[in-house]
Structure 1
Amino acid sequence: MIALSSRFTYLLLGLLLVLALGLRLYRVGTYGIYFDEKATLLVSQGIVMEGFNQRDVFDKPYFTPAEFWKPKTFNDFMEADTRSDIGNSPAYYAVVWAWLKVFGMSDTSLRMPSVIFSTLLIGLLFFFVRRHFRFLGEARVNALALLSAFIATIEPFFVAYSHIARNYPMTFFLTLLATHLFLLIMERVRQPSLASASAGPVGLYVAYGLVFVTSVFSHYLTVTVFLCHGLYALLFLRNGRAWLSLGLTAGLGLGIVSLWFLFGGGQYTFFTLNYQAQFYRNIALTNPTGSPFGLILPATFANISVRGIPIFADLFMPTNGIGQAMTGIRNSALALTLGLGATAVLHRYWSARVVPVWAYAVIPVLLLAGLPIYSVVPERLLVLSGAVPFVYLIGRYVYDRFDRAQRPLITLLLLLAFVPTLFLLFMAWRSGHTFGITQRYSGFSFPYVCILVAMGVQQLASARWWLAAPIAAVLVLQLVHIGKLLGSIYADEAPKYTYFDRPRIANPYWQAAQQLISTYQPGDTILYPNKKRVIYSQAIDKTYTPLSLLDAQLMNVYLPPSATYIQRIDPAEPDRIVLVNGRTGARITIFDFKGSTYRYGD
């Protein structure tokens, strides 16, 4: 193994951070905001989507940007979060609010917190591995930390969500930080003498509790990570004082969180979640293929498995995209069988002193044998075959380099890699529908999976060349797939990651606002469309007016806050923003949304 000095290691880390930032900044503002990002933009400004807390603005026949931008109170922010995002993510919205206050309104500015947290995650992951896997020795842990950081740098999921103004990159960073603090606490419980070496145990518990609260306030499902911490404690913590300290920390943290649910924006959460469960379950039972929300199936074991396999597969970069290959039982069974055969050869001759000549060709022959037989996506099935011995390499790495004292650490790593997705599948079964089975809700697992993949790569590097070469070739093929996937993400043509298979245009609201700013004259009137709204629930989706206000709201976000432009909603116009000349009455179309074509999922 090549020994990496600390100076050279940090130089490589710096280059990785530059690469990570570049990948996340590239084309970050090219495509306009989609529906969830509209919620981010409005909620962060204390504005309820469809104007529930702006009655005094929209009740009048005409309104102005100055009236729209009247000062907002804390109650406005709670109202906006409650009605527009079921009380979720107040910490993230606070970060976005502060950021936009400093750097202004634009799609790039709106997405920059995601870019920053996604980049910071790379550095945190490096130091996480260096700190908690140092028992491997300096050379090996440096290599493992850099490999983990590199895998996270090019991980398509991280790159895609750095381009989306939502809470996910922030939650990934915070939950990894929480796990780091938790492991430091566990380390000091096992070795009390370390408490005086750096931060004291009280400081660590306080920091852990603060990160716990902030994480939950960035997304409710971060609780799955803390569930893993709790399972680890149940399995391995045998210290009454530590249990008392953790219990006190958790109790205080939950007490703070509960205040949000009792008196803040979270009071609407459970009612909404219960309604949504019934709503989507009804669709799954009555109209699974014809709803505007996509395919929603009843939560049978088969349906959950079909939806869950791609989620698990795409967690691991070496298996990204093979979910489509596993829909055919015969093809996937053959690929897995050939992969198991290759794994058996790998295990048999890993350290054998005498190797027969024929053994050199067995692994490549087994991996390639299915190509003439596979009836669909043969390249993906080849990757599936190669993934089996790669999983063996991860297991071999743990077996060879983790002694009994380190087994709790790998147990925690595995819990964090799998429990969030298993929790998601359990909730789908409990709710009776498959709508919520989506990668972003279990994305907290990705940093830990990056470490496991890095272990497999490092173990591969230590294998005999003739054992390693065919598996490495499959990994190179998979890297080509990852490169193409990144290209699709940048082109806005990767529905799983960007929600779109056709590229969006640049933000029409921002463009229209710039045109209005340059052309509006006193006496002119701006008319906004009244897109027909579908009311799914009077209790949840209710607005005080039958008119659709969202287009007007999003336009006013980009207009000068002190402007006195005369504006109104045109009840008879579904699609166009129109400027009416105050002297001649001429109507100028500023932008035509053409139905939902440019409303991004609205």
Structure 2
Amino acid sequence: MSVSLSRSTLLLLGAILALALGLRLYRVGTYGIYFDEKSTLLISQAICLEGSNQKDVFSKPYFTPAEFWKTKTINDFIEADIRGDIGNSPAYYGVLWLWLKVFGLSDASLRMPSVIFSTLIVWLLFVFVRRHLRPKQLADEPTSSGALTLASVDKLALTSAAIATIEPFFVSYSHIARNYSMTFFLTLLATHLFLLIQERIRSSARHSSGLSLPWLYVAYGAVFVTAVLSHYLAITVFLCHGLYALLYLRNGRVWVTLGLTAIVGLGFISLWFIYGGGTYTFYILEEQKNFYRHLAITNPRGNGFGIILPATLPNIATRAIPVFSDLFIVTNGLSQVLGSVRNSLLALGLGLSSTLVMHRYLTVSKPPVWVYAAVSLLLLAGLPFYTIEPARLLVLSIAIPFVYLIGRFVITYTDTSQKRFVVLLVLLAFVPTLFLLFTAWRSGHTYGITQRYSGFSFPYVCILVALGFYQLATLRWWFSLPVAVVLLIQTVHIIQTLGDIYADTSPKYTLFGKPRIANPYRSSALQLKQLYALGDTILYPNKKRLIFSEKNDRTFSPVSLIDAQLVNVYLPKDAQYIQRIDPNERDRIVLVKGNSGKKITIFDFQDHTYRYGD
């Protein structure tokens, strides 16, 4: 049964979506593409990094854009995906290929699908909360003490969407031309369909609006296949669906139907692993596991890939702390103070004391006078004793009270079905990261413990945080005000983090500490189109190839071809410009003018800070 939205809710939702889109569009094409995005661009055009499927082009003394852009086949696409992304994400590259075919190859266009899917996450999150957290008895007024109303569920849905709007992780990955935003949207959509199936089964509502039950299974299976073929680790979300079904599903017929849906879906996915790029995935994963484990043992800090440690329990815990901390917007960035055990224990101890005071006097209408100031004084008590970043530690001190508020909301406002919904949220919030930790332990290194590989959890964490905000708003002022003030301090941190993302100076989110320049390959191609004349020759740098993987990186060429490849991507597809790799040039793209031999430097990598993103 659908329930119409009030005018005020529609206006607020529209404002949130407009803000979400604006935050994601702002400066989306400002900075040049980094290495993973270079892979994305080439794979989407069925071009292998370093030219494995272009030997007939680059093995000649000279080549032209027309030769570079010769017609590609499905086998070219598969090989490009194998060499550029271990056979992962074919569904994403297919969507991106179609998008770029229509809208062109600019950096903004390359990233625009990520912008769109990230904005759609905000919209779908509103729909998701409003549909699955609403009370069984639809009413605008409470039907019993502590029950949620439709109006309150709308507020929770809007709050969840608003949190997702400003979540730094979503904003930063909307500016990255990779599969993540698309996969996060698809897995949220899959969870929505999964819960609609459960709802339809429980209600047996033949006259409900929307898809019939058979079509819900078809839609769920289709999204399952597309999500996993957008990123293999999306399987962790469906693992959570299975755990939820084990806990609460007691219908044999439904188990059979869901099982068949999963089998058929896996059958379609297996086609990629049998006949497509997935044929090499496990081989390459094994090769990478051994490579990174070797680095963890022999060169954990100076290897060029960041800090890679052996997968001992202390090392895994150390890498997991920032992942879990940054998962919740209210604790974002606190990992930098958690390294100081004394300061952290003091802040958490004061937070625990505040929580105990809240719990004891939360429902007391006239508490002792000292209670009015107790939470404020306890939170402030640590400031004279903190030896590092007192503002960050003050935020840490409300972590336990905020978790308590989420738990209090669940106890106070939810019925049995809504509590089951919260259980699913908790599974989805933590299982993907726990899966990463388990695979790190099995692999013997910590390289894969990174936020983007468990980013499927963020939509569900946004909902949990919204529950805490809702409960906070219901507290008496002497409990809510001090927590709210500290949350304002955290809001300042979030705004600063977004500023760093837009400035490209946030290593945690934009991967680099220094801002990138605009895309030099595109600008070089534009210059070449303006300056090239018949008889000219374009020279590309002769840069030594780095071989990390025998399967992925070994090709016919001993020198790197990627600079030449990326400039040619932006040159006219029918152009007959004469080009070659210059054995005497290390850093510059050069245009040699006719018989005069005059050299014009188009771009000098040596004098720019671009290649640190290679």
Q: Give the TM interval when normalised to the shorter protein.
A: over 0.9
1:526-579 alpha-carbon deviations (Å, 9 max, x no partner): 000011122123333201111210000000001011110000001221110010
- Structure 2 CA distance for aligned equivalents of residues 11 and 354 of structure 1: 39
1:377-414 alpha-carbon deviations (Å, 9 max, x no partner): 21111101012111110110011011223322111110
1:206: Cα distance to partner?
A: 0.2
Given the alignment, which residue of 500, 504, 509 partners 1:497?
509
CA contact (8 A) 1:81 1:88 kept: yes
Inter-CA distance 412–267: structure 2 relative to 1 (3 Å threshold): same
1:207-257 alpha-carbon deviations (Å, 9 max, x no partner): 000000000010000000000000001111110100000000000000110
Inter-CA distance 184–5: structure 2 relative to 1 (3 Å threshold): closer
Kindly indicate whether residue 145 of structure 2 is the aligned counterpart of residue 133 of structure 1: no
Q: Which residue of 1 aligns with 2:143?
A: none
Q: Which residue of 1 aligns with 2:550?
A: 538
In terms of mean alpha carbon deviation, does 478-487 or 533-542 score higher? 533-542
Kindly indicate whether residue 219 of structure 2 is the aligned counterpart of residue 242 of structure 1: no
Q: Which residue of 2 aligns with 1:81?
A: 81
Q: Which residue of 1 aligns with 2:60?
A: 60
- Structure 1 CA distance for aligned equivalents of residues 239 and 382 of structure 2: 41
SS of 1:527 mapped into structure 2: strand
1:109: Cα distance to partner?
A: 0.6
CA contact (8 A) 2:187 2:227 kept: yes
- Structure 1 CA distance for aligned equivalents of residues 163 and 184 of structure 2: 15
Q: Which residue of 1 aligns with 2:162?
A: 150
SS of 1:568 mapped into structure 2: strand
- Structure 1 CA distance for aligned equivalents of residues 124 and 209 of structure 2: 21
Q: Which residue of 2 aligns with 1:586?
A: 598
Given the alignment, which residue of 528, 532, 544 partners 1:520?
532
- Structure 2 CA distance for aligned equivalents of residues 70 and 233 of structure 1: 50
CA contact (8 A) 1:188 1:195 kept: no
Q: Which residue of 2 aligns with 1:258?
A: 270
Kindly indicate whether residue 361 of structure 2 is the aligned counterpart of residue 352 of structure 1: no
SS of 2:498 mapped into structure 1: helix
In terms of mean alpha carbon deviation, does 196-205 or 99-108 score higher? 196-205
1:600: Cα distance to partner?
A: 4.3
Q: Which residue of 2 aligns with 1:574?
A: 586
Kindly indicate whether residue 15 of structure 2 is the aligned counterpart of residue 15 of structure 1: yes
1:598: Cα distance to partner?
A: 1.4
Q: Which residue of 2 aligns with 1:288?
A: 300
| Residue identity in the other structure for 2:355 | T
CA contact (8 A) 2:308 2:446 kept: yes
CA contact (8 A) 1:574 1:595 kept: no
SS of 1:241 mapped into structure 2: helix
- Structure 1 CA distance for aligned equivalents of residues 275 and 94 of structure 2: 18
1:93-149 alpha-carbon deviations (Å, 9 max, x no partner): 111111111111110010000000001111110011110011132111110000000
CA contact (8 A) 2:507 2:513 kept: yes
Inter-CA distance 196–393: structure 2 relative to 1 (3 Å threshold): closer
- Structure 2 CA distance for aligned equivalents of residues 492 and 198 of structure 1: 43
Kindly indicate whether residue 236 of structure 2 is the aligned counterpart of residue 224 of structure 1: yes
CA contact (8 A) 1:547 1:571 kept: no
1:597: Cα distance to partner?
A: 3.0
In terms of mean alpha carbon deviation, does 152-161 or 194-203 score higher? 194-203
CA contact (8 A) 2:84 2:552 kept: no
- Structure 2 CA distance for aligned equivalents of residues 373 and 196 of structure 1: 60
Given the alignment, which residue of 387, 392, 414 partners 2:404?
392
| Residue identity in the other structure for 2:153 | V
Size of the alignment, in residue pairs? 599
CA contact (8 A) 1:195 1:201 kept: no
**Superposed, which structure 2 residues align to 1:360-375 within 5 Å?**
360-375=372-387
1:194: Cα distance to partner?
A: 4.6
| Residue identity in the other structure for 2:218 | V
Q: Which residue of 2 aligns with 1:403?
A: 415
Kindly indicate whether residue 57 of structure 2 is the aligned counterpart of residue 45 of structure 1: no
Give the TM-score of the pair, scaled to structure 1: 0.98
SS of 2:32 mapped into structure 1: coil
- Structure 2 CA distance for aligned equivalents of residues 548 and 572 of structure 1: 14
| Residue identity in the other structure for 2:475 | A
1:82: Cα distance to partner?
A: 1.1
Q: Which residue of 2 aligns with 1:117?
A: 117
CA contact (8 A) 2:315 2:446 kept: yes
- Structure 2 CA distance for aligned equivalents of residues 210 and 596 of structure 1: 46
Kindly indicate whether residue 610 of structure 2 is the aligned counterpart of residue 598 of structure 1: yes
Given the alignment, which residue of 456, 468, 471 partners 2:480?
468
| Residue identity in the other structure for 1:575 | D
- Structure 2 CA distance for aligned equivalents of residues 356 and 597 of structure 1: 62
Give the TM-score of the pair, scaled to structure 2: 0.96
- Structure 2 CA distance for aligned equivalents of residues 301 and 552 of structure 1: 44
> Identity across aligned pairs (percent)?
68
Given the alignment, which residue of 263, 279, 286 partners 2:291?
279
CA contact (8 A) 2:228 2:234 kept: yes
SS of 1:580 mapped into structure 2: strand
| Residue identity in the other structure for 2:32 | G
- Structure 1 CA distance for aligned equivalents of residues 102 and 416 of structure 2: 51
Q: Which residue of 2 aligns with 1:381?
A: 393
SS of 1:446 mapped into structure 2: helix
Q: Which residue of 1 aligns with 2:32?
A: 32
Given the alignment, which residue of 320, 341, 347 partners 1:329?
341
| Residue identity in the other structure for 1:117 | F
1:596: Cα distance to partner?
A: 8.0
CA contact (8 A) 2:129 2:156 kept: yes
1:454-487 alpha-carbon deviations (Å, 9 max, x no partner): 1100111111011100000010000000000000
- Structure 1 CA distance for aligned equivalents of residues 502 and 287 of structure 2: 36
1:502-526 alpha-carbon deviations (Å, 9 max, x no partner): 1111001111111100000000000
1:161-208 alpha-carbon deviations (Å, 9 max, x no partner): 000000100011000000000000111222223565431111000000
- Structure 2 CA distance for aligned equivalents of residues 146 and 539 of structure 1: 48
SS of 2:287 mapped into structure 1: helix
- Structure 2 CA distance for aligned equivalents of residues 442 and 350 of structure 1: 36
CA contact (8 A) 1:284 1:298 kept: yes
CA contact (8 A) 1:228 1:412 kept: yes
| Residue identity in the other structure for 1:217 | L
1:269-309 alpha-carbon deviations (Å, 9 max, x no partner): 00010111111111111111111111100111111111101
SS of 1:590 mapped into structure 2: strand
SS of 2:559 mapped into structure 1: coil
Kindly indicate whether residue 440 of structure 2 is the aligned counterpart of residue 439 of structure 1: no
| Residue identity in the other structure for 1:28 | V
- Structure 2 CA distance for aligned equivalents of residues 550 and 197 of structure 1: 52
Inter-CA distance 238–595: structure 2 relative to 1 (3 Å threshold): farther
Q: Which residue of 1 aligns with 2:144?
A: none
| Residue identity in the other structure for 2:509 | Y
Kindly indicate whether residue 353 of structure 2 is the aligned counterpart of residue 341 of structure 1: yes
- Structure 2 CA distance for aligned equivalents of residues 324 and 533 of structure 1: 37
| Residue identity in the other structure for 1:111 | R
In terms of mean alpha carbon deviation, does 372-381 or 60-69 score higher? 372-381
SS of 2:543 mapped into structure 1: coil
Q: Which residue of 2 aligns with 1:106?
A: 106
**Superposed, which structure 2 residues align to 1:414-433 within 5 Å?**
414-433=426-445
CA contact (8 A) 2:83 2:551 kept: no
- Structure 2 CA distance for aligned equivalents of residues 230 and 579 of structure 1: 59
Structure 2: unaligned runs, 5 residues or longer = 136-147
Q: Which residue of 1 aligns with 2:145?
A: none
- Structure 2 CA distance for aligned equivalents of residues 351 and 594 of structure 1: 67
SS of 2:49 mapped into structure 1: coil
Inter-CA distance 365–536: structure 2 relative to 1 (3 Å threshold): same
- Structure 1 CA distance for aligned equivalents of residues 163 and 375 of structure 2: 25
In terms of mean alpha carbon deviation, does 350-359 or 479-488 score higher? 350-359
1:364: Cα distance to partner?
A: 0.8
